[in-house]
């Protein structure tokens, strides 16, 4: 049987092959590593900041090797997952997965878990549940969020297509948003809950139209296991289109979704707030950009993140692809957009099973 030490040795012996293979889609492998918590948040950010993808994978492998044999075992487990093998077909049947020369059989001391063995949330009801959309466009003291109506329309269409009941709330103050969320938490039902928030933002949260802030805790708490028994054990997904600070990654003229900003061909949705996954399970929070950075939106067609999300859902849901894999496709798509301005969506995941959103007949 293979030992933990042998898993580590396999990475060392095949390091050149892994670097050459994984650097082609370095962002995808980094997202999977983050979701498995093989790195700390600081380690992940430091490696992700590396501009050269080959150097990024080298640094990743070096860091994993430094963490010991068990982490190396988990990393090889990750490489064996179906979604990874589809992205990196050269891994299939490679020597890195072969049993040791002294092994009496092909079993491993720490068996590799296939993606197919993971549980799946039950999504059978029609409608599946509620998709609530908060779309704040007009503000008392901030710029109008041109292009947000296009995002609302795209979200409305795709989630109705996925058999959700869609409820839209437009131009709500902070207090109105809080009250609507609390009321919804008392009555919401179904196999799955979706919440989309499109607004200006700051480091503290998202803005209501009155310029007051709604924190992420105030957005999600009405739906946790204590406050919303009907959704206990069921997936609760939040898509937040807003920036996470005022670092401008662009050389073009932009408009920030903060109190200031100028009209331009490309605008940004700034959100700068901190999000922590609650102890309650079955939450997924998808954010349009990384900490401290702008999130881009074109007035005529909508935001990069929301438009990519809707496109990837339409493409992959009919194939039975799970939501986390779809979000990796969104990450890759958005990260490739722009020339002088760049954006990288991220997700915080506390899910226990795969979430597959079936297309109704």
Catalytic residues: 200, 243
Provide the b/e sequence for 300-312 (b: ≥16 CB within 10 Å). Answer: eebbbbbbbbbeb
The alpha carbon torsion through 25, 29, 34, 36 (nearest 10 deg) reads 160
The answer to whether 358 and 289 are in contact (CB under 8 A) is: no
> Residue 125 phi/psi, 5° resolution?
-70, 155
Supply 292's token pair: 């401290």
CA–CA distance, 181 with 107 (Å, rounded to integer): 50
Surface-to-core class of residue 27, CB atoms within 10 Å of its CB (0-12 exposed, 13-18 middle, 19+ buried):
middle
Phi, psi of 205 (to 5 degrees): 160, -160
Q: Determine how many CB atoms are found less than 10 A away from the CB of residue 12.
A: 11
Are 293 and 244 within 8 A, CB to CB? Answer: yes
Give the count of beta carbons closer than 10 Å to the beta carbon of residue 225: 17
């Amino acid at each position: 049987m293979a030992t933990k030490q042998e898993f580590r040795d396999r990475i060392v012996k095949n390091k050149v092959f892994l670097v050459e293979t994984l650097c082609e889609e370095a962002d995808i492998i980094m997202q999977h590593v983050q979701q498995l918590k093989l790195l700390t948040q600081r380690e992940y950010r430091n490696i992700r900041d590396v501009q050269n993808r080959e150097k990024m994978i080298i640094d990743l492998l070096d860091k994993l090797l430094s963490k010991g044999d068990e982490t190396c075992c988990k990393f090889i487990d990750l490489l064996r997952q179906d979604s990874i093998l589809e992205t990196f077909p050269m891994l299939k049947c490679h020597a890195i997965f072969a049993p040791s020369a002294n092994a009496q059989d092909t079993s491993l001391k720490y068996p590799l878990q296939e993606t197919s063995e993971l549980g799946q949330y039950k999504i059978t009801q029609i409608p599946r549940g509620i998709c609530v959309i908060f779309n704040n466009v007009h503000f008392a003291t901030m710029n109008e969020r041109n292009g947000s109506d296009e995002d609302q329309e795209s979200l409305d269409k795709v989630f109705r297509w996925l058999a959700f009941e869609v409820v839209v709330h437009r131009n709500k103050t902070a207090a109105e948003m809080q009250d609507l969320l609390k009321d919804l938490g008392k009555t919401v039902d179904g196999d799955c809950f979706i919440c989309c928030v499109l607004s200006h933002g700051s480091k503290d949260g998202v803005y209501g139209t009155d310029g007051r802030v709604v924190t992420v805790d105030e957005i999600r708490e009405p739906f946790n296991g204590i406050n919303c028994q009907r959704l206990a054990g069921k997936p609760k997904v939040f898509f937040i289109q807003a920036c996470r600070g005022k670092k401008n990654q662009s050389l073009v003229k932009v408009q920030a979704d903060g109190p200031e900003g100028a009209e331009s061909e490309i605008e940004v949705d700034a959100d700068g707030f901190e999000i922590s996954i609650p102890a309650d399970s079955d939450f997924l929070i998808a954010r349009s950009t990384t900490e401290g950075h702008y999130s881009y939106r074109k007035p005529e067609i909508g935001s990069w993140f929301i438009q990519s999300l809707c496109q990837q859902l339409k493409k992959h849901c009919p194939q039975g692809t799970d939501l986390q894999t779809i979000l990796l496709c969104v990450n890759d798509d958005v990260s490739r957009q722009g020339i002088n301005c760049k954006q990288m969506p991220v997700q915080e995941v506390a899910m226990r099973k795969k979430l597959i959103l079936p297309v109704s007949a």
